[in-house]
Amino acid sequence: MNNTICTALNQQINKEFFSSYLYLSMAAFFENQNLKGFANWMRVQAKEENDHAMGLYNHLLERGGKVELGEIKKPSTDFKDILNIFEETLIHEQNITKKIHELYELSTTEKDFALQSFLKWYVDEQVEEEANAQELIDKVKILGGKGEALYLLDRELSARVYVPATILTK
């Protein structure tokens, strides 16, 4: 595995850990508002991000690359409201999608086809990540962020359970 790819993968590991941090910060915001279902959704999301980072970490090691963990940036703690949080989530995921696509492109230019095959899982996962955030934006907009509708949405989101990412189990 060449240095360019090694550096790019280490950078992506950092971004995935930052994603986990960001969603934990959002979970704490919801928890403080007593929105336990929303907080649960974000806690599960944070665990999934940890898996995304570990998938890349494992791939680097498997290929004889050097893992270099960097500092994790401080996530925001100032969130306006529920809609704002899911809009920020979508923007963040769009940014991650861009980074995954750049990595995929790099695997082509560097002719690293093992990496390219591995990254397909991430390309597909990002489609789901963006769709999930968009769905929540739409639901909050349709139902409104108050009263009984908020209670019902919170209850729906409390049902989300963490399942280890298949990139770690296959």
Residues that bind ligand FEO (CB under 6 A): 16, 19, 49, 52, 93, 96, 129
Minimum distance of ligand FEO from residue 18's CB (angstroms): 10
Minimum distance of ligand FEO from residue 52's CB (angstroms): 4
Asked if 122 and 5 count as a contact pair (C-beta separation under 8 A), the reply is no
Minimum distance of ligand FEO from residue 81's CB (angstroms): 21
| C-beta closer to ligand FEO: residue 129 or 154 | 129
| C-beta closer to ligand FEO: residue 93 or 154 | 93
Compute the distance between CA of residue 16 and CA of residue 4 in angstroms, rounded to an integer.
19
Closest CA to 11 of 88, 63, 89, 73: 73
- Using alpha carbons only, give the angle 135, 120, 2 rounded to the nearest 5 degrees: 130
| C-beta closer to ligand FEO: residue 82 or 96 | 96
C-alpha distances out from residue 1 to 12, 15, 140, Å: 16, 20, 45
| C-beta closer to ligand FEO: residue 82 or 165 | 165
Asked if 130 and 93 count as a contact pair (C-beta separation under 8 A), the reply is yes
Minimum distance of ligand FEO from residue 23's CB (angstroms): 8
- When CB distances to ligand FEO are compared, the closest residue is 52
